[in-house]
Structure 1
Amino acid sequence: MRLPTRSLQHLLTSLLLACLFASPTLQALENTGGVRSLRAADVHPEDYPTVQAMLFMHQRVSRSSAGKLAIQVFPSGLLGDEAPLLRLVQSGELDMNRISAQALDGLSPLTRVLSLPYVFRDSEHQHKVLDGPIGREVLDSLRAYGLIGLAFYDSGTRNLYSSKKPVQRLEDLKDLEIRVQPSDLSMAVFEKLGAKPVKLPFSQTGNALSNGLISAAENNLPSYASTEHYKHAPYYTFSRHTMTPDVLVVSRISWDKLTPTEQALLRTAAAESVPMMRDMWQQREERVEATLRLAGVKFIELPLEQLARFAEAVQPLYAQFTGSPPQQDLIKRIRAVK
């Protein structure tokens, strides 16, 4: 019997986890001296700011617990892509995961608001929203879906990059085959902009660009650089269409097995990791842009009138995807934050 692709991915990832954690070394880490070890995953490489933030958390909780609590971080997509990892966290087979808020769209109605195009004015506005009561409310809403939301991490602004010609105005998107995240909202955004969106896992985007399956993609600058997508798509347009944050989540099943003291240590370490991660992110963006300019990447700044046209084109999606009273109220409160 042939398994469906989704079931096969889950099975393969589960088998990999079982093999990894069956090794004598890792068993010793979990059992010797009563050490409790949490397994965390990320699709990004080890030097990426979100991975560094989780490694920072490991140092904090290990020191604060006198070595009794640890976090094992598995970067570079070792344990799979975001969607199967999220299911593993919900089932308790994986303890922690860094995931895009957009990947949570199908779970929590409130997280979908954070992925709306042009809902945040700039990064300062986003930080004020996420660091305040609104951010805590959204994180707390994940509990009902088997997740404990610990923190929001920066993911920068998502921008367009293309292989054949630069995107300089709204008309340049017409019929452009562009990779988007596996999200109905992402699909709808680029349909409204006139493009032809293609859902693909993050790990398959580079091959799709090099093979000509797609002509464009969209992501933040560090991801664009670390995946070397710029080698296939050298035109990078600052469309700033979304500022979807990343979310650090813990399996509720795993969380309930921790003591109140261990839970408090994790929350404290997560909060301390946020400013460190943001500093790393800003430095990385500046460094990456300078490096890519030297590598020949063409950066395009859209005029204000074109940005306004982009925002106007996607405005109907607010009612289509966030039409419930709680979502509409959240949008109003986000926009009211000064």
Structure 2
Amino acid sequence: MKFQFYNEPMTDLNSKKKNRNSLSIFSKPVFLILVCLALFSTCKGPGGVRVIKLGHGLGVTHPVHEAMVFMAEKVAEKSNGQMQIRIYPNQQLGTERELVELLQIGSLGMTKVSSATMESFAPRMQVLSMPYLFEDDAHRDKVLKGEIGKQLLLDAEDFWLRGLCYYDAGKRSFYTKNKPIENPSDLKGLKIRVMESNTAINMVKSFGGSPTPVSYGELYTALQQGIVDGAENNPPSLYTSKHYEVCKFYSINEHTAVPDVLIVSTKVWELLDENEKIWLQEAADESAIYQYKLWAESVEESYRELKKAGVTILYPEVAGFREATESMYEEFKLTQPNLFEIVDQIRKIE
């Protein structure tokens, strides 16, 4: 059984977000969203069909969106059509932070966020944003699929958020408008877009840059207008967002491998019966396996297309970047010993 994702025009939220520090769930744009959604994140319609709304900020060609489409199809298949997921892409329902807040009050069922965004709700998850934390992909996978990863997914339940699975968000590197980044000193004085993450902010500071939080949906305009000089992200996001039209230098220093997290409102989760919970969790797990495959293919395609578009791709020496971030670990050890203990456990996993 096929499902639909919704891409109809919605209220233009971006034009109203004058103050990025004002993220109240009772702001006018979000209030309008609540009205539009009629305060139903999940409901049972005709014939007892359970419908869950999922909003996110990515485009429909992004591999994470495609994985969520796959998940929705699996949910419909497993439930014999008795459970459906409706997907609202392209930041139609708000920024990542706003979508999380909508989940907290039960006005939206599910969303995809970066684990960096989850730091405000599950503080222990900030360890996943630490630079050069993982030795390689195999090490990362062991952590996320192991006991530490499973515990972190449930850390935000006290804040009405439950993690279902991780999606591969690749490795993040710097892309810039006017000059390439070949060593940390090249970032000095540059305004670099970061997610709303203290760890990301501290990382850019450690390189000498000026971290500037900007919503992903507003970043293209921010680059065009010179609000920021560059950003940091993975190859598929650089390509699918078309930020390469503005930024022609991509420096592959791969400073972090911050995963995405598929989350569900606990207010919605608790409404599901046992079969519905099993269908949703199984479909999420299967979509993660599918997404990892899509991601690898997308990375290869993205590099090809970025080169065709005239982007200069550089491979700077990583040692200098790694060394510059060691101060973050030292501070972490002193100021947050409990979190540093998790970092230490991660580093010991072989």
Q: CA deviation at 1:198?
A: 1.3
- Number of residue pairs the alignment of both structures matches: 330
Is 2:344 the counterpart of 1:332? yes
Contact 1:221 / 1:285 at 8 angstroms: preserved in 2? Answer: yes
Contact 2:332 2:340 in 1 (8 A): no
Contact 1:10 1:84 in 2 (8 A): no
Q: Secondary structure at the match of 1:250?
A: strand
Aligned residue for 1:193? 207
Q: Distance in 1 between the 2:239 and 2:93 partners? A: 22
* Residue of 325, 343, 348 corresponding to 1:314: 325
Per the alignment, residue 134 of structure 1 pairs with: 148
CA distance in 2, matches of 1:8, 1:148: 19
Alpha-carbon displacement from aligned partner over 1:227-268 (angstroms, at most 9, x marks no partner): 111111100001111110000000011110111111111111
* 1:1-338 matched pairs, under 5 angstroms: 5-7=22-24, 10-20=27-37, 30-303=44-317, 307-321=318-332, 323-338=335-350
Any conservation in 2 of the 1:9–1:84 contact (CA below 8 Å)?
A: no
Identity %: 33
TM-score (norm 2): 0.89
- Cα distance in 2 for residues equivalent to 1:10 and 1:262: 33
Q: Which runs of 5+ in 2 are unaligned?
A: 1-17
Question: What CA distance in whole angstroms lies between the structure 2 residues aligned with 1:9 and 1:217?
Answer: 30
Structure 1: state its 5+ residue gaps.
none
The offset of 1:319, in angstroms, is 4.3
Amino acid at match of 1:236: Y
- CA deviation after TM superposition for structure 1 residue 321, in Å: 4.6
Q: Is this contact kept in 2: 1:177–1:215, CA < 8 A?
A: yes
Q: Which deviations, in whole Å up to 9, do the C-alpha atoms of 1:187-244 show, x marking residues without a partner?
A: 1111111111112111121112111222111111111111111111100001111110
**d(CA) in 2 for partners of 1:66 and 1:11?**
39
More moved, 156-165 vs 179-188: 179-188
Q: What is the one-letter code of the residue matched to 2:344?
A: K
Determine the C-alpha separation between the residues in 2 that align with 1:271 and 1:240: 26
Give the TM-score, by structure 1 length.
0.92
Q: Compare 269-278 and 121-130 and name the one that shifted more.
A: 121-130
Structure-1 separation of matches of 2:123 and 2:47: 42
Using a 3 Å threshold, how does the CA distance of structure 1 residues 143 and 22 change in structure 2: closer, same or farther? closer
Q: Separation in 2 of the partners of 1:180 and 1:19?
A: 30
The one-letter code matched in structure 1 to 2:221 is N
